[in-house]
Chains A and B, each alone.
Chain A
Amino acid sequence: MMHHHLILRVVTKMLVGTIILFAFYVQFHGDFSPGGGFQAGVIMAVAFILYGIVFGLNKAEEVFPPWLVHKLAAFGVLVYAGTGVVSLLLGYNFLDYNAFNPGHPSHGQHWGIFAVELGVGITVTGVMVAIYYAFAGRPPPINDEDW
């Protein structure tokens, strides 16, 4: 098994890093070019899914263990909601990014979007990989006795 698909395996190893780099580009450059948290999260997840498809689910789960995937999916939402809570603690409305730089609100907006999109990116990565794991690692069909 390990000796099959030599080209695929070599190309995948080369591509995975590039895909992750591209995901970061889409994530952090999202305000000047097409993209944002959701797209970046999907691209990031694609790196792990491609790795899982070529090298097998077990290898992928060694690199990115399922428990970490779940925590990340939850952590992203916390980053998003946490941004709202911080703005709230600063005496502004929920998710009012002006709070982050009252002297220069457009900078505040910029930072707020940045934080929120980071949360989106993390969650989307987690959820996409979790969906892949759930489908790829599906247990065998239910036994007749279980019904």
Chain B
Amino acid sequence: MSAVETQHVARDLMDQLPVLQVAIPLIAAPLIVFIGNRKLAWAIAFAASAAAFVIACTLLWQVIDGSVISYHIGGWAPPLGIEYRIDALSAMILMLISGIGTIVLPYAYASVAAEIPKKQHTLFYALFMLCLTGLLGMVATGDAFNIFVFLEISSLSTYVLVAMGAHKDPRALTAAYDYLIMGTIGATFFVIGLGMLYMATGTLNLADLAERIADQGINRTVRAGFAFVVVGMGLKVAMYPLHHWLPNAYTFAPSAVTTFLAATATKAAIYVMLRFLFSVFSPGFHFEDWTLYLIFIPFSLLAMFAASFVAVFQTNLKRMLAFSSIAQIGYMLLGIAMLNATGLSAAVVHMVNHGISKAALFMGVGAMVMYSGSAFFDDLKGLGRKMPITGAVMVAGGLSLIGVPGTAGFISKWMLVQAAFENGWWIIAIAIMLSSLLAVIYVWRMFEVLYLTAPSDDCTATDPPLPMLVPMLILAGACIWFGFDTELTLGSARVAAEGLLAGSAGMMH
């Protein structure tokens, strides 16, 4: 071994990017606790997530041509060592997560000050960094057990972040507890699945798993492992019948946390699902095909209609948007189940587009809640008129949620409909359009409350301070921008989808 090591070539910054992506927020979290200063805490958190965003952009730029970066932690080569593996798909999701983190933090500064007691602020930013670390790690790593570890890092910090809403509404505690139980069941299922795959193959590296499963063929252990992994991740994704934790967690969490989670947490879980469905296993594994056709498609359709339908009747705006998230996750899973390049690109691009739109909407609600005290429609009456910029941001986000042409949401739904036509699934294409009509109804309800009802006479609400407005405007701008310029989103989504469909071959060394 020493003979090899003496010829070591020093690695430069560019070589280290995959690990820095995760390590920078990871170091920021204990640093914030160690320094223990409220003002510095925010500055460190912002610097770390901005650095993570720059790294993610650089990584995407490096792998956009379809290449793959493999980084060996501790210098131990895979499959024995832990490998970080960046391709177009992971770089894109890394960019989404770190980008949303960076945009949410300036907003969080004012929002957290209003919603969380002062002495918890330092810990809030430390937890936020841990959550960011976990989500980025899940996406960056190429090691199955490492995914579990990062999943737990992000989940545990998320539970506490949700519970921090208890200062405003004690129901945040039960919401966090629900999420804790459901999330733990999900993580347990996931790790049981990994255990079975490990038992059958003797490896935990995703690429190596794919090779060995392909070599030895499918047996009952592998099938059971697959099922456990899909159900476990399904819980984290909030796949339709497993979505129970989501509405309360999103409703009662502090606004900044809701914004961040809605845009990133489920997306990271969908990423892991994609990795297992396409990189570890591959379509053609009949059990997987049947899972996609008989479970993903019916439940996605059910999510699109049932969750949208429930959203229409909500009286709390945050809750309405939470149910809409469940419906939108249905679109993503439907795109995956189409099993063609267009459907997969639609799913991937919808992860980004929906993340941006939902973040804009939740930020808008958060800004209004700062003045009204609650997200119930009755308390938000006419606030769109009193807070014109916030209202405009929410309209942009709402239009993108429906999928009106000229917004980001249109691009992903259009791709999805095209994918359905490619498969000749006319009924599903029609279902996608019909369910969008339900979105029109609930977005219209929001619009009606914000603009068409008169504000109370003593309402003193105005647009929030600049640090909250700018992130909202950036996101609303992105909703529109990505509706016209699809080079970045759709372009990388196509590369990502091709990489996925190349199957486990895309993961070979």
- Pick the contact of B72: A76, A93, A146 (CB < 8 A): A93
Given A71-B34, A92-B11, do A81 and B26 touch, yes or no (CB 8 Å)?
yes
Contact of A74 among B6, B16, B23, B31 (CB under 8 A): B31
Nearest residue (CB) in B for A78 is B30
Residues of A contacting B72 in the complex (Cβ-Cβ under 8 angstroms): 93
Q: Which residues of chain A (67-86) have a CB below 8 Å from chain B? A: 67, 70-71, 73-78, 81-82, 84-85
Please name all residues of chain B whose beta carbon is closer than 8 Å to the beta carbon of A94 when the two chains form the complex: 16, 19, 23, 73-74
CB distance from B314 to the nearest CB of A (A): 23
Per-position contact with A for B163-192: 1 when CB-CB < 8 Å, else 0? 000000010000000000000000000000
CB distance from B142 to the nearest CB of A (A): 14
Point out the residues of chain A lying under 8 angstroms from B75, CB to CB. Answer: 92-93, 96, 98
A98/B170 in contact, CB under 8 A: no
Known interface pairs A85-B23, A96-B74; A78-B2 also in contact (CB < 8 Å): no
- From 19 to 41 in chain B, residues with beta carbon under 8 angstroms from any chain A beta carbon are 19-20, 23, 26-27, 29-34, 36
Query: In the complex the two chains form, is B31's CB within 8 Å of A78's CB?
Result: yes
Of all chain A residues, the one with the shortest Cβ separation from B75 is: A96
In the complex, A77→B355 CA distance in Å?
31
For the side of the interface on B, what is the size category? 20 to 34
Residue B427, interface by CB 8 Å? no
B8 contacts A78, C-beta separation under 8 Å: no
Q: Which of A11-19, A27-35, A40-48, A102-110 contacts B (4 or more CB under 8 A)?
A: A102-110
A95 close to B74 (CB less than 8 A) = yes
Residues of chain A with a CB closer than 8 A to B30's CB = 73-78, 81
Known A93-B72, A93-B75, A146-B170; judge A78-B5 contact (CB<8 A): no
Does A104 lie within 8 Å of B27, measured CB to CB?
no
Chain B residue nearest to A91 in the complex (CB): B10
- Chain B contacts of A88 at CB under 8 A? 16, 19-20
Q: A105-B1, A106-B2, A147-B170 are in contact. Are A93 and B34 (CB under 8 A)?
A: no
Q: How far is the CA of A76 from the CA of B1 in the complex (A)?
A: 30
**Is A24 located at the chain interface by the 8 A CB criterion?**
no
* B2 A74 Cβ-Cβ under 8 A: no
The CA-CA distance from A38 to B30 in the complex, in Å, is 18
**Interface footprint category on A:** 20 to 34
Q: Tell me whether B331 is interfacial, beta carbon within 8 Å.
A: no
Chain A residues with CB under 8 Å of B11's CB are 91-93
Contact of A97 among B23, B74, B170 (CB under 8 A): B74
Cβ contacts under 8 Å, B71 to chain A: 93
Q: Do A78 and B27 touch across chains, with their CB atoms under 8 A apart?
A: yes
Within 8 A of B (CB), among A96-123: 96-98, 102-106
A100 vs chain B, min Cβ distance (A): 12
Contact A84 B31 (CB under 8 A): no
**B1 partner residues in chain A, CB cutoff 8 A:** 105-106
In the complex, chain A residues whose CB is within 8 Å of the CB of B26? 77, 81
CB contacts (< 8 Å) of A95 on chain B: these are 73-74
Q: Which residues of A contact B33 (CB under 8 A)?
A: 70-71, 73-74
Q: How far is the CB of A142 from chain B (nearest CB, A)?
A: 8
Contacts of A96 in B (CB 8 A): 74-75
Other-chain residue from A81, A97, A147 in contact with B27 (beta carbon distance below 8 A): A81
Given A73-B33, A97-B74, A146-B170; A92-B8 close (CB under 8 Å) = yes
Given contacts A81-B26, A84-B23, contact A102 B6 (CB under 8 A): yes
**Interfacial residues of chain B within 217-242, with CB under 8 A of chain A in the complex:** none
Residues of B with C-beta under 8 A to A81: 23, 26-27, 30
A15 shortest CB reach to chain B, Å: 31
Contacts of B2 in A (CB 8 A): 104-106
Please list 13 pairs of residues, one from A and one from B, whose beta carbons are closer than 8 Å in the complex, sorted by A's number. Answer: A70-B33, A73-B33, A74-B30, A74-B33, A77-B26, A78-B31, A81-B30, A93-B71, A93-B73, A94-B23, A97-B74, A106-B1, A106-B2
- Footprint of B on A, CB under 8 Å? 67, 70-71, 73-78, 81-82, 84-85, 88, 90-98, 102-106, 142, 146-147
The 9 closest A-B pairs by CB, nearest first: A91-B10, A96-B75, A74-B33, A74-B30, A77-B30, A94-B19, A95-B74, A74-B34, A105-B5
Spell out B's residues near A (CB within 8 Å): 1-2, 5-6, 8, 10-12, 16, 19-20, 23, 26-27, 29-34, 36, 71-75, 126, 170
